[in-house]
Chain A
Amino acid sequence: MRGAITIIALLLAGIGVLWAGTDGLQVLTAEGARRLATEEKPKPLPAVLLRDQRGEVFRLQDYEGRNLLVEFIYTRCATLCTSLGETFEQVAGKLPDGTLGRDVNMISISFDPRDNRADLKEYGERYDARPDHWRIARVENPEELRQLLDVFGITVIPDQWGNFEHNAAVHFVNRQGYLDRIVDHDPASTTLEVLWKRL
């Protein structure tokens, strides 16, 4: 009898630990945890300086009062980032006239120190990104870049072929300037659905 009580108590404790460890079976990966935490507690963004494909300097805070979509890329990427670029291209194509560049803006931020202005420009042209609504930008100060990646929760690791692996997603920054939602970039319809409700 006492043996059975011990076993039941241990089972309950173990299930409790696993329940807590997965936020009630919602989260198995660090990426999932990042997304849930963002939804539950939107984050303010650091005021870092970015420079876009035209060489213009701006901050994410310049977009307060509008919907901002942010992606993290590197221009040499041949896999994930091409589908990230395609997602933004599709979103841009499906939005009603007059919203792009006004109510909705998009920014692709490169985390690759090798990317220069010409690389950003070329990347933008590949997806027909017009700088008035879709900026391809980089953070010039390495310390500021680290800070920005940290707040967004982006882990970048170089592989042995000069490429990077990184968590890819579309990040929503609301009108108050808070990062409040992270969704899969593929399919683009997921991004559109979330965006639709915010227009």
Chain B
Amino acid sequence: MEATMTLIRRMSLTCEHACFQAGLGIGLIIVLSLPVGRALLESSLINHMLVQIPLLALAGWMIGKSMFASLFLESNRNGIPGLLIALFVMLFWMLPRWLDAALSEPLWEAIKFITIPLLIGLPLGISWPRMSSFSRAVVWTNSISMLVILGWLYVAAPLRVCNNYLVNQQEDFGYMAMALAVVIAAYWVGIAFFGKWDKPESSDVIR
């Protein structure tokens, strides 16, 4: 009896936590889609690409992690299929053409607000905890080189890639992307030299 009560209490606690996190994610999407939120975050390329889109993905991540953590346990066991979905959708939204479309056509704006949480954040939130340290490291290191190349392209591009943004914003975004890469790199260098290192988990080796 006592044990059952504890179990129920614990379950309701975890549900509360999960529901809270999912609610936070949904709330975030709503706030971001309000006219004020959109006007604020879509006025510049930096805010659009480095604040609004990541926040939308984060919202999806919170929903996925808290509500659907046990989804596709069999087919997405090591998290790689989920990661692939997220990567392709990320690439799609990095095409200047579709970012422009989202700004000039309400239909594409709606598609953006649906696909980024649902197809980038959600699969990542489900998959990240299942991924091995090795897969995670691949994602981190690739994100560094990708951000540098992306940033450099935006700084060096002789043409305006987005009709809806000024060229100087394009350059600003480029430098910001490179700065972000430096921050990520510095963070991992910091961990590598000063972090606490345990022996590799046996589960990682087997996986």
Question: Which A residues have a C-beta under 8 Å from some C-beta of B?
Answer: 2-3, 6-7, 10-11, 13-15, 17-18, 21-22, 27-33, 155, 157, 159, 165, 167
Contacts and interface: CB of A to CB of B under 8 A. Distances in A.
B163 interface: yes
B160 A157 contact: no
A21 B108 CA distance: 12
B20 interface: no
A31 B166 contact: no
A18 B97 CA distance: 12
A30 B92 contact: no
A17 B97 contact: no
B197 to A, nearest CB: 30
Q: How large is the interface on B (under 10, 10 to 19, 20 to 34, 35 or more residues)?
A: 20 to 34
Given A21-B95, A167-B160, A155 B81 contact: no
Contact of A18 (B77, B81, B91, B165): B91
Interface of B: 75-78, 80-81, 84-85, 87-89, 91-92, 95-98, 100-101, 104, 159-167
B88 A17 contact: yes
19 contacts: A6-B75, A6-B81, A7-B84, A15-B88, A17-B92, A18-B88, A18-B95, A21-B97, A22-B95, A28-B95, A29-B97, A30-B100, A30-B162, A30-B164, A31-B160, A32-B97, A157-B165, A167-B160, A167-B163
Given A6-B81, A18-B92, 4 more contacts: A2-B75, A3-B77, A14-B84, A21-B92
Nearest to B72: A6
Given A14-B85, A17-B88, A21-B92, A165 B97 contact: no
A7 B80 contact: yes
A135 to B, nearest CB: 26
The CB with the most chain A CB atoms within 10 A, among B84, B89, B165, B167, is that of B84
Contact of B100 (A2, A15, A17, A29): A29
A159 B168 CA distance: 10
Contacts of A14: 84-85, 87-88, 91
Contacts of B87: 14
Nearest to B76: A6
Contacts of A10: 81, 84-85, 88
Q: Summarize A's interface: helix, strand, loop or mixed.
A: helix
A62 B178 CA distance: 52
Contacts of A3: 75, 77-78
The CB with the most chain B CB atoms within 10 A, among A22, A29, A167, is that of A29
A169 B28 CA distance: 40
Nearest to B96: A29
A7 B161 CA distance: 32
A21 B90 CA distance: 12
A157 B43 CA distance: 11
A165 B167 CA distance: 8
Nearest to A13: B88
Given A14-B88, A17-B88, A30 B81 contact: no
Nearest to B78: A3
A159 to B, nearest CB: 5
Contacts of B98: 21
Contacts of B89: 17
Contacts of B166: 157, 159, 165
The CB with the most chain B CB atoms within 10 A, among A11, A21, A22, is that of A21
The 3 A-B residue pairs with the shortest CB-CB distance in the complex, in nearest-first order: A14-B88, A30-B100, A155-B163
Contact of A30 (B76, B85, B91, B96): B96
Contacts of A157: 164-166
